[in-house]
Amino acid sequence: MTGARRTDLHPDVEAMLAALESGFPDVTAYSATEVREIILSRRSPLTRTPDMKRVKNVTIDGPGGGLPLRVYTPHSVGSSPAPVVVFAHGGGFVFCDLDSHDELCRSMADALGVVVVSVDYRRAPEHPAPAAVEDVYAAVCWTADTIAEYQGDPRRIAVVGDSAGGNLAATVSIAARDRGGPRITAQILIYPLIDNDFTTESYEKYGVGYYNTAKAMRWYWDQYAPDGTDSELIVPTRAASLTGLPAALVATAELDPPCSAGDDYAKKLAAAGVPVLSHRFDGLFHGFLTFPQLSLTGPARTELWELMRQVLALGGESPT
């Protein structure tokens, strides 16, 4: 793995990476509880923007007890039911929550005119895999049964996740197919953690010096899957077949160690006959979508929203 950072990066990316490298904790030096406390202490106050027509916190019966959800209905939703996104946040399976991704969920709902159901799934290591998968699956089932009360269309449910949440969106799509569960119209995987192969090209190039390190990634997987990764509910490529899965958007970030695995998963899905859109955000790093202060994030989000519209249209009626 190389240690020197590329010299051709956008100045704002270089500045952001320098700030993150100096300010983000070395997660491997702390317990999961300590990591959560450190990250929470450095979080900016909630902006609660963009404004929504309705935001409601609900707790449903999950497989591990009460499962908190946050449902966002944007102002653009009128008399006709809107498409729905069940969203799983990132955070290495260990940290982050409904608040950490509140702004992103609001922006997604506002831009796409979709109802968003954000899931506060159980986190590792206290709740190892597949607890998080089962929680997100339970949220999908609840959404199919209940979302009409929030002006959502139960026939048009997509699963979306960033980072660890991208893994959960992929594995929940497999679970829903194999269990005969609710129909998922699209899976949208944003710089997803597909597997724990640390020998790929992107791990070799970007495993050091780009905020999300190979060392940290090993720690995340150790927390999440201490008993191994043989199950398709943990690593989606372990599935016997990828045939029959929902239409997919796989969006990766070039400067991200898991990038190669995400790009490769898009190819595997396409080879299995799944309609796939694949896009790599060149010159950007893991997690960039949750940094709206970065000058390149706004244009990248606009591009992502358009790709999401396209894949939602592949899986069902377009949201616009």
163 flagged as catalytic = yes
**Vertex 263 angle, CA 261 and 266, to 5°:** 110
What is the number of other CB atoms lying within 10 angstroms of the CB of residue 197?
A: 14
What is the number of other CB atoms lying within 10 angstroms of the CB of residue 156?
A: 24
286 flagged as catalytic = yes
Residue of 107, 118, 163, 260 with catalytic role: 163
Residue of 256, 260, 263, 264 with catalytic role: 256
256 flagged as catalytic = yes
Catalytic residue numbers read 163, 256, 286
